Each structure stands twice: as C-alpha cells, then as structure tokens.
Chains A and B, each alone.
Chain A
Amino acid sequence: MTALTAPLAALGATVLAILATTGRITLFAADAVSHILRPPFYTRALLIQLVQIGWLSLPVVGLTALFTGGALALQIYAGGARFSAEEVVPSIVAIGMARELGPVLGGLMVAARVASSIAAEIGTMKVTEQIDALVTLSTNPMKYLTVPRILAATLAMPVLVGVGDAIGIMGGYLVGINRLDFNAAAYLRNTVDFLEFWDVGSGLVKGAVFGFLVALMGCYHGMNSGRGAEGVGAATKAAVVSASVLILAANYLLTELFFAA
C-alpha cells in the first residue's frame, strides 16, 4: 500500500511546497511594491542600481542582440527562399526582434547577470548579519535593498530592450547587405515601413515585466538565503533558474494577452 501511496504523497508534498513558495513570493512582491511609494526614499541607492543593472548590462544585451539579429536574417532568408519570399527578411527580422527575441533574450541575459549578483550580494549580507545590522540602525532592508533594485530593473529593462532591438535589427541589416546581397536603402525602408508602434511597444512592456521579475527573484532568494556559503550558492542558483522560467512563462502569457486573435 505504501508503495502505491508514496509517489502520491511525494507529489502532494511537492505541490504544497510550490503553492507555499508562490504565496510567499507574492506576499514579498506586494510588500516590496507597497514600500516603493512610502518614504524614506533611497535615491542614491536607486542611482547606483540603475548603473549596476542598466548601464553595465548594455554590453551583454547588445552582443546578444547583434548575433541574434544576424542569425535571424540568415534563417529567414533560407526559409523565405523556399517560397521565393526573400524580401520579407527585413520586416520579419524587425518584428521578431522587437516582439520576441529582444525582450526574451535580453531578459534571460539580465537574469543570468543581475538575478545572480543580487541574490549573492543580499544573501551574503544576510549570512554575515548585515541585514540584521540594518534593522538595528532603524533602516528597513526592504526599502534600502529591495526597492532600489526592483525599481531600477523595472525602469532599466525597457531601455535595454529598446537598445537591443535596434542593435538586433542592425545585426540583421549587416548580414542582409553583406551576405545576402540586399540593397542597403531598400533594407532600411522595408524595416521601417512594416514595423508598427505596438511591435516595439509590446516588447518594451515585456521588458519592464521581466526586469521586475529578475530583481524580485534576486531579492527574494537573497533575503531567504540559507546559512553559510552553501546557502548563498543555493540562493543564487534558485534566483537565476526561477527568474528565467518566470520570464519565459510571463512571455507566453503576455504574448497571449497582446496578440492572441
């Protein structure tokens, strides 16, 4: 009998654990958001995080977009050739970058770079009692640590996505005119003519959501880090994995919301 019920019990326990964690993260997020509007505000901390999360992520997001745009142009050309529709390359590259690949790949790269460093930093502060010390100095760790990071990531990510879109489209353009014999002026005209505002706008909204999720996962797992170096390592891993999965899931939901017929 136990042989039969054991897997069920394990399944039940897993489901319960997932539900409990979801609840805790939701409460944490609500708490963080509620602190955004209430003083004191740590403006300097916010500026530092904007640099850390936004500015310093530009190279990795830009390179990712550049190579993705180039590869996309090659693939769409090869696919388009089967229907003698090679001329769709510029517009499909632009739409693909702006709607999907810019925000998703940008979000994943930022998750790898930022969620990990936030979780490691806050986790280390937790295990070395720096968070406790903040409390004894009448400073709310939620306001001082979490809010600046969440705000910075939510504000910076759309900008990163916008820059990534542009660089990705440029990657497609470079491949298009150098490798696929497109006319430079025609390529650009094609890109601009077919790209609609909402193609880009939806991607920027996605970016803001992904930025929020990345910082939220970094802060949540850091604040709940276990004890010792092992605890910080586990928190870092959990932050990156959960941020990545949440980005992909949120991307599907947002795409469904924005574009489903």
Chain B
Amino acid sequence: MIRFDDVHKSFGTNHVLRGVDLDVARGTSMVIIGGSGTGKSVALKCVLGLVTPDSGRITVDGSDDDRDAFLSRFGMLFQGGALFDSLPVWQNVAFRLMRNQSKDAARDIAIAKLRRVGLKPDVADRFPADLSGGMQKRVGLARAIAAEPEIIFFDEPTTGLDPIMAGVINDLIREIVTEMGATTITITHDMTSVRTIADNVAMLHDGRIQWTGPIADLDHSGDPYVDQFIHGRADGPIEAVR
C-alpha cells in the first residue's frame, strides 16, 4: 500500500537516503530499525511530503498526487512529540476531531484516548510543557490515534518510557493493527518493541534498505549488519562512529 521506489534525499552534502526501496502491505505493521542518523525519520517525512525527495517516487495506494486525501486518514507520532504548546492536552488530542464534532464529544474521546495510553483524565486540562517527557510522548501517541486513522506512523513510540509503560504502548500499537486493521510504520531502537509490534522488519543502513523480511526471520537473517544491530555489538560491519 505504501511503496518507496528508489528514493534519494540529500541535505547539502549529507546524502541521507541513497535509493530506498520498500513496500508496506495494507493492514500490516512495518518496523524500521537502523542506526541513529541513518535517515529513518527523514524517510517517513518524505511520505508525508514534509520533505521532498530529490528523486524517486513514493506512492500510497498506487498514486502520489492526492496528499490531502492521504493525510485525512493518517496519524503520526513525532519523535519529539511535537505537541502544540499553546493548547491544553485534550485539545491537542482532539485537534482533528474538533473540526466536525462538538467540543464536549471531542473532549470525551480525547479523555478516552488518553486513558488508552495510560494517562489519567486530570492531565487533560494541563499544558504540554507541564508534563514529563514520557507523558508528552504518550499524549502525542493519543493524538496520532485519536481520529482512528487507517495509516499511522510512530517515530520511536517507547523512547523515554519506563519498561512497564513501554510494554503497554507496544501492546496498544499491536492492537491497533490487529483490531482496527490499520497500516503502520514504526521506527524504534527497542528490540522488545520490534518483536511485539512488527509483522515485517526493515533495516536502514547507509541510505538503503539493508535487509527486509518477516519478523520470524529476524534472528536468522544471515545478514551481518542485522545481526550486529539486534545484538547491540560494538564490533561488526557497522562502524561505531558515523
């Protein structure tokens, strides 16, 4: 459903994406792993049109021209949360809902979504700046899923969360895929997340997809880069200084 076709992107002399090819089927959960700074976040932003690829093509349902229609059934959790700090938490979560629902109905949904990410109703009226990093992340997650979109991107959903909360979030993302049939792409460095969330895994290295396959194959991929990465070894083909 989401297809990357030889996507290239440079920032000045920094050649970040050097020909990414990737296919995400409808209703499946793709997890992208890869070293810090390899361009995982940039790849997602290319799909949204927030970053324009230098060359190559990204299609959603076979087309690449109707971005507004795509965005209307889309949700995203940003790596840094990206909450609107001028709005209270519940209005962040209900941002999209308030366009075609009454304030009270939108607020009720927002509070229900906050509960799903493990936040009590009393955070609803606080401002994002008053929350801890992990709480902000979860509010961002609640905002991403609030309108029950068909396509959701999660950029590092569990970084900054305690292990229990990370477990809750992993289960939630898995649930969204299996129960709501959403198509998701998740970026994570957390191997527990990878194993809980993924149907398929892709490893980005050196601007290309180094390896991709079903989660069951991850442990015997036969790819030295993947092996080094998932076991967190300092020595191997991936250099520690990049």
Contact = CB atoms under 8 A, between A and B. Distances in A.
Asked if A pairs with B, the answer is yes
Interface of A: 40, 121, 125, 128-130, 132-139
Nearest to B146: A137
Contacts of A135: 48-50, 71
B45 A130 contact: no
A133 B78 contact: yes
Contacts of A138: 68, 71-72, 96
Contacts, number: 45
B78 A129 contact: yes
Interface residues of B, number: 22
25 contacts: A40-B99, A121-B86, A125-B84, A128-B80, A128-B85, A129-B79, A129-B82, A130-B82, A130-B85, A132-B48, A132-B50, A132-B78, A133-B78, A133-B82, A133-B143, A134-B84, A135-B48, A135-B49, A135-B50, A136-B48, A136-B50, A136-B74, A136-B76, A137-B96, A138-B71
A40 B79 CA distance: 29
Interface of B: 45, 48-50, 68, 71-72, 74-76, 78-80, 82-86, 95-96, 99, 143
A149 to B, nearest CB: 13
Interface centre among A121, A125, A132, A138 (most CB of B within 10 A): A138
A134 B143 CA distance: 11
A133 B76 contact: yes
Contacts of B83: 130, 133
B96 A128 contact: no
B137 to A, nearest CB: 13
B140 to A, nearest CB: 8
A154 B68 CA distance: 30
Contacts of B49: 135
B48 A133 contact: no
A40 B100 CA distance: 12
